[in-house]
Amino acid sequence: MSDKDQRLFEIFLDVQRGLPRQGPGTDEITCEALSLCTDLPTQPAVLDIGCGPGMQTVALAKALVESQVTAVDIHQEYLNALKERAQAAKVAQHIDILVADMNALPFSPQRFDLVWAEGSAYIMGFDNALVIWKQWLKSGGCLAVSELVWLRPDPPEEVSAFFSCEYPAMIDAETIVAMMRACDYELLGHFTLPETAWWQSYYRPLEAKLPALYNKYRGDEDALGIIETTKREIDIRRHFGTWYGYEFFVGRDKRVRS
């Protein structure tokens, strides 16, 4: 990574810093997706990949009483926030925190009963994640992932142009379902996150940060460009939210448990 790219990334992290979540979701949605993960052991071993500050990690630890959740993220800052959140919720003893790259996780194969990823699979490519993360699942284990998808065909030019730049790999839910089945996952269910999931713990607190960020980076064209893109992303959601959304997908590895 060049010095400029590193600086731009640090600005991006500053824009995101301190938010309850790094993407759409709520504790209730985490629990709804968890309810689709049938036939888990009484105390499943769980891997939360790209956990960020860990709101969903804590929700999983609270819902799966006496289970052990391994939370992985590449940014120590997020993991520090997760540690504080877990301690406050009194579930720290059930969460193992690890700083690691999701492309090179240091686990032995078939270690986990449940692999979880809220809004993080895009980092390595959704199709790639389906294949690589399967190795961490025990036979018959579950995979639960949320992903940005098109909800309707032929979106307006403004929203199409935005995502052709910001996330050109975005596809529709039906294509993802087909991809999961092609990777030998039995689809247990999928659902679209409600509009409240975008605003409650993500866009409202993010939007509230923008005035201070404009002031902090006044005169810095690179930083202001990132902030403007963030503002435009929120505005796109406000005006074109019916065209795209986050979809939660839950599947089971078809390999038979030994």
Model confidence pLDDT, tens digit, residues 95-106 = 999 999 999 999
Residue pair 74/4 in contact (Cβ under 8 Å)? The answer is no
Residue 205's pLDDT band, with cuts at 50, 70 and 90, is: very high
pLDDT at residue 8 in the model: 86
Residue pair 162/233 in contact (Cβ under 8 Å)? The answer is yes
Domains of the chain: 3-149+167-253 (3.40.50.150)
pLDDT at residue 245 in the model: 98
Model confidence pLDDT, tens digit, residues 225-235 = 999 999 999 99
State which H helix or E strand residue 49 sits in. strand 45-49
pLDDT at residue 1 in the model: 67
Global pTM value: 0.95
